[in-house]
Amino acid sequence: MTLYKQLSTFVFTVFLLVVAGLSTGQLNETRGFLYQQMQSELDNSSQALSLMLQPSMEQADKVAAETLITAMFDGGLYQSITLKWLADGSQQTWVNNRTDAYIPAWFYRLPLFEEQAKTTTIVSGWLQLGEIEIVSHPGYGYRQIWQSFVTSLFITALMLVLMLTVVKWWLRQLLKPLQHVQQRAENVAQKQFSTPMAEPKTIELALLVRSINTMEAQLKLQFEAHKEHVNTLQKSLLTDAVSGLPNRSYMIGRLKSWLHEPADGCVVMVQLPLLEQVREQFGYQLRDELIGRLGQQLQALPQNVISSRISANELLILVEGVDSTQQHKTTEQLQVILQRFEQSCGLMDPPICAMGAVSRTPQHQVQQILSESDHAMRQAQQSEQQLKWFAQLASQPLSIEQWRTMLNGDLRQHIELYRQPVLDWQSHKPVQWELFGRLNYEGNEYHAGQFLPYLNMINKGEAFDRALIETVTANEALTSSDQRLSINLTAAAVNNTSFRLWLIEHIKQTKTKLQFEVSELLAVDLSDDLLTLRQQLAAVHCPLGVDHFGRELASLDYLQKLAPDFVRLDHAFAGDTSEQTTQLCRALCLTAQGLQIDVYLAGVQEQRQLTPFEQFSLTGYQGFIQPPKRVNEAKPVALVTE
């Protein structure tokens, strides 16, 4: 019960008791006054009537006596009048049982007035002529009290309504600071901090506000310290201090995550022998400055090009999500950067910076692709070439024109739906499904890693997402699902205003339980379009999550601003149980869980991989422990753990 209802009930009860007490006293006083008035009226009427009847009774004129009594009786103040003639013993009685129509019958049954009667003997000298008995009618008294009761009830109700209105207004003004405290407490729970609240004039509320401000300041310091700790861990564990680039540990995890998903791209290993000569001739300081400048140039490359320093004189560069043509263009860009680096190193005859490149194949594992890239780099050094590919790049399954023809058509005709269960950490039963779309063209299926580069090239990302969502909501097997269906959105869709408006309307019209995800790279950028989408989805109670959580070496400030409902840890964490990685993963999980965000472990292939994460309080997990299956195939069986 709200405070207003409790206070209103208390005020109503007290007011009712006070009014009842005052009304009872007033009723008794009024009843006593009316009783005396009716008794006095009865005495006067009895005396007056006996005097008026005396002449008629002396002459034994019964008609005149009856006429006189009837005229007086019709006034309605008497319940009965009885006239007894002593001469012959006859008597006549007039009775009035009428009641006022507007007075309830139950009110008449209340014992408010005792019966009042007056008997008077009519005499003529010493001769007794007769007796007259008059019984007063209580209707007058009941009528007066009823009118007083109705008037008092109306005034009481009016005063009560007025009082409750005033109390409500006063209470609302009084509790405004408390409402601000409630809202601020909810914001603090979401780790959304702001300036301290102003203290109200009420002493008790001022103490409460002061305590909230103090608590918020302390929690803010703790949360900022925790975020700084996470950033420090990322830098110390995953970043090379000299170049500012990711280190070997980060790149190994990134390669595992990249190879876990269907995608295209290549790996380039770079040998920088001139760094050793610079160190010998000019010292560590100049060498470190050169490495720092080179790192800045590599970080300026597109976001799908991830550069890392894996040893003192070696770099490893990952080029994600591009076809063979784009791979060649990227390596050409790298050649230009390295040539400029050679020219600016200060050596008269610097050795060539050798590059070995390997294009990804479906069979590649981390150690294999590293070994092949290292072998290609050694061949480039021996042949004194700047770039050497490990093998001739395989031809693309479709030409650019074929991709363009398919992607410009009706994509719904080519989409094949796959789904992968996300399992609850405790029960190991599906709690949601992650959906994937593949394109079927001329009998062959192509995964997202193959067609996404071409979607981005012809600006069809938004069209693909729209077609995928329409296909999902039109599928009966998915529409009847009790668990939510998770769909990854492309950056093109998120940044498209018309798509966002269409999406919200589509969610309102469909019965399918949808939720959406964006990559951490998109979340880190935190565009206004993404924040708008988050607000729109929240308005229709549709969750939004972040995929590949922990992949980007960036601040976690976006978690507070975006406030996603869930995050999926990057696949690299499930495959790396080293103490450093586990420490960083724990810090990431605590940060998200402190913001009341559900955390899911991704990339799980075996049951034993769950053991290191048992103390992390994760919500669920997914991976090839239950691989994706085409929609309409059999549902997975819940895992049983001992």
What confidence tier does 641 reach under pLDDT thresholds 50, 70, 90?
A: very low
Token pair for residue 497?
A: 């205003």
pLDDT (tens digit per residue) in 266-301: 999 999 999 988 888 888 898 899 999 999 999 999
Same domain, 503 and 419: yes
The per-residue pLDDT for 639 is 46
Same domain, 411 and 475: yes
- Which helix (H) or strand (E) segment is 608 a member of? none
Q: Is residue 366 part of a domain?
A: yes
More confidently predicted of 279 and 36: 279
Give the residue among 147, 145, 149, 152 at the shortest CA–CA distance from 38: 145
CA distance 536 to 380: 53
CATH for 606:
3.20.20.450
Give the residue among 146, 150, 142, 122 at the shortest CA–CA distance from 77: 142
Q: Is residue 409 part of a domain?
A: yes
CATH for 324:
3.30.70.270
CB 572 within 8 A of CB 257: yes
Backbone angles phi, psi at 58, to 5 degrees: -65, -35
CB 306 within 8 A of CB 320: yes
Q: Is residue 37 part of a domain?
A: yes
The per-residue pLDDT for 430 is 93
pTM of the model: 0.71
| DSSP string across 335-364 | HHHHHHHHHTS--SSPPP-EEEEEE--TT-
How confident is the model over 246-251, as a mean pLDDT?
A: 91
Give the range among 63-77, 378-392, 479-493, 612-626 with minimum mean pLDDT: 63-77
- 294: helix, coil or strand? helix
Same domain, 379 and 409: no
| DSSP string across 108-158 | HTS--S---EEEEEEEETTEEEEEEEEEE-THHHHHHHHHHHHHHHHHHHH
Whether the pLDDT of residue 121 is over 60: the answer is: yes
**Other beta carbons within 10 Å of 190:** 14
Whether the pLDDT of residue 555 is over 70: the answer is: yes
Q: Is residue 149 part of a domain?
A: yes
More confidently predicted of 492 and 226: 492
The per-residue pLDDT for 638 is 43
241, with CB counted inside 10 A (0-12, 13-18, 19+), is exposed
The per-residue pLDDT for 181 is 78
CA distance 211 to 199: 10
The per-residue pLDDT for 642 is 36
CA distance 308 to 314: 9
More confidently predicted of 613 and 263: 613
Give the range among 93-107, 233-247, 371-385, 567-581 with minimum mean pLDDT: 93-107
The per-residue pLDDT for 636 is 44
CB 345 within 8 A of CB 282: no
Token pair for residue 613?
A: 């994460």
More confidently predicted of 349 and 592: 592
Whether the pLDDT of residue 61 is over 80: the answer is: no
What confidence tier does 322 reach under pLDDT thresholds 50, 70, 90?
A: confident
Do the strands 514-519 and 544-549 form a parallel or antiparallel pair, or are they unpaired? parallel
- Pick the most confident of 13-22, 176-185, 354-363: 354-363
More confidently predicted of 377 and 10: 377
CA distance 395 to 610: 39
Same domain, 381 and 415: no
Backbone angles phi, psi at 353, to 5 degrees: -85, 110
Whether the pLDDT of residue 98 is over 90: the answer is: no
- Mean pLDDT in the chain? 85
Whether the pLDDT of residue 637 is over 50: the answer is: no
What confidence tier does 535 reach under pLDDT thresholds 50, 70, 90?
A: very high
Do the strands 354-359 and 387-389 form a parallel or antiparallel pair, or are they unpaired? parallel
How confident is the model over 383-389, as a mean pLDDT?
A: 88
CATH for 34:
3.30.450
The per-residue pLDDT for 101 is 67
CA distance 158 to 590: 58
Same domain, 254 and 367: yes
Q: Is residue 196 part of a domain?
A: no
More confidently predicted of 448 and 118: 448
The per-residue pLDDT for 640 is 42
Same domain, 407 and 491: yes
Same domain, 341 and 406: no
Whether the pLDDT of residue 14 is over 90: the answer is: no
| Domain count for the chain | 3
Q: Is residue 322 part of a domain?
A: yes
pLDDT (tens digit per residue) in 599-636: 999 999 899 999 999 989 999 999 989 999 998 754 44
Q: Is residue 222 part of a domain?
A: no
How confident is the model over 376-402, as a mean pLDDT?
A: 82
Residue at which a domain ends, from 161, 193, 208 = 161
CB neighbours of 615 closer than 8 A, spacing ≥ 6? none
CA distance 240 to 642: 42
The per-residue pLDDT for 76 is 55
Same domain, 310 and 416: no
CA distance 618 to 590: 10
Same domain, 305 and 424: no
> What does each C-alpha distance from 371 to 4, 39, 267, 286, 511 come to in angstroms?
73, 123, 11, 31, 51
The per-residue pLDDT for 299 is 92
Whether the pLDDT of residue 223 is over 90: the answer is: no
Q: Which domain holds residue 591?
A: 400-630
| Angle of CA points 291, 310, 360, to nearest 5° | 115
pLDDT (tens digit per residue) in 429-467: 999 999 999 999 888 888 888 888 888 888 889 999 999
- Pick the most confident of 130-144, 464-478, 572-586: 464-478
Same domain, 553 and 612: yes
The per-residue pLDDT for 228 is 83
Token pair for residue 308?
A: 């890392």
- Which helix (H) or strand (E) segment is 601 a member of? strand 598-601
Q: Is residue 177 part of a domain?
A: no
Residue at which a domain ends, from 342, 365, 389 = 389
Same domain, 102 and 9: yes
**Other beta carbons within 10 Å of 163:** 14
Residue at which a domain ends, from 355, 389, 423 = 389
CA distance 487 to 514: 8
How far the first Cα of the chain sits from its last, in Å, is 46
How confident is the model over 319-325, as a mean pLDDT?
A: 87
Same domain, 410 and 550: yes
What confidence tier does 168 reach under pLDDT thresholds 50, 70, 90?
A: confident
Whether the pLDDT of residue 518 is over 90: the answer is: yes
How confident is the model over 558-581, as a mean pLDDT?
A: 89
Give the residue among 631, 634, 633 at the shortest CA–CA distance from 475: 631
- Which helix (H) or strand (E) segment is 12 a member of? helix 3-58
- Pick the most confident of 86-95, 445-454, 557-566: 557-566
